[in-house]
Amino acid sequence: MRSLSSENPDPDVLWRLDMFYTAVGLAIEERSGLVTPPMMEMKPMGASDDCFSRPGGWSLCRDIHRFGFETFRKLAEAGTKPVDDATAAIEAYPDVTRA
């Protein structure tokens, strides 16, 4: 297995990640009416530098170079889950989300 410890992810991969989460944010905004700017900053994490972190504690490790989807349907399915989860949280806690 290839380690990313000595190299940075391909800029195209980072662009795909950015576009995916930007689209998720736009879909959340469309459903909820709340502005949801993407918050993504990729930076090396840990001593081995083979993991990258996102705000909120998410991390993309080792296989970041494989980010992508085989079909548009799989892309849509992957994006639908975080949109549905965020929309449910917004509906469950409307006062918090509009504070």
pLDDT tens for each residue of 6-32: 466 778 888 888 888 889 999 999 999
Sign for the CA dihedral angle at 91, 20, 43, 35 comes to negative
Closest C-alpha to 13, from 45, 34, 40, 36: 40
More confident residue, 81 or 98: 81
Instruction: Report, as an integer, the average pLDDT of 60-72.
Output: 75
The number of angstroms, rounded, from the C-alpha of 74 to the middle of its chain's C-alpha atoms is 15
Alpha carbon distance, N-terminus to C-terminus of the chain: 46
